[in-house]
Amino acid sequence: MTDKRYKDLGQLGAQANTPVSPDAAKLERVKNPNDDPYLIRFTCPEFTSLCPVTNQPDFAHLVIDYVPDKWIVESKSLKLYLTSYRNHGDFHEACTVGIAQRIIKEIKPLWLRIGGYWYPRGGIPIDVFFQHGTRPEGLWVPDQGVAPYRGRG
């Protein structure tokens, strides 16, 4: 990496393997390049984790919206962090809220919300929503754009 501002990023621009677990994953951050409040959105339409009881795969469409303060999440490290859930057993609620809490811990955003739109298991889709902080007044926040589950109809 040639830009010295990013010398502490160990995963960006380098070969990086999938972490063995979310706890082992390193979520890296970069100084926020802007002073005005703005929204950053990450969408992960193919999120995968494991059911902690049956060890069967669970699938979700995640939408993470946040307003940074001093730091932003480095996207490759977020991708590796989210991928680490593929071998992690936890319920939908724990995965969704845990991801939000980890981002909050690492970058301390002004505002964050996550929508976890989980695909049905046992005939019941489970959607999990979490919000932290207060959205800055006047900030445009688009709808997350994920339609409610409608089955075959």
> 58 catalytic, yes or no?
yes
* pLDDT range class, residue 135, cuts 50, 70, 90: very high
CA separation for the pair 60, 44 (Å, rounded): 8
Strand partners, 139: none
Catalytic residue selected from 23, 35, 58, 65: 58
* pLDDT range class, residue 10, cuts 50, 70, 90: low
> 51 catalytic, yes or no?
yes
- Over the stretch 47-58, which tens digit does the pLDDT of each residue have? 999 999 999 999
- Over the stretch 93-118, which tens digit does the pLDDT of each residue have? 999 999 999 999 999 999 999 999 99
User: What three-state secondary structure class fits 131?
Assistant: strand
- Over the stretch 141-152, which tens digit does the pLDDT of each residue have? 999 999 888 765
CA separation for the pair 96, 6 (Å, rounded): 29
Catalytic residue selected from 35, 36, 51, 69: 51
- CATH assignment, 24-133: 3.30.1130.10
User: In the predicted model, is pLDDT for residue 40 greater than 70?
Assistant: yes
Per domain, the residue ranges of the chain are 24-133
- Taken in order 99, 62, 114, 79, is the CA torsion positive or negative? positive
pLDDT value of residue 126: 93
CA separation for the pair 72, 108 (Å, rounded): 9
The model's pTM: 0.90
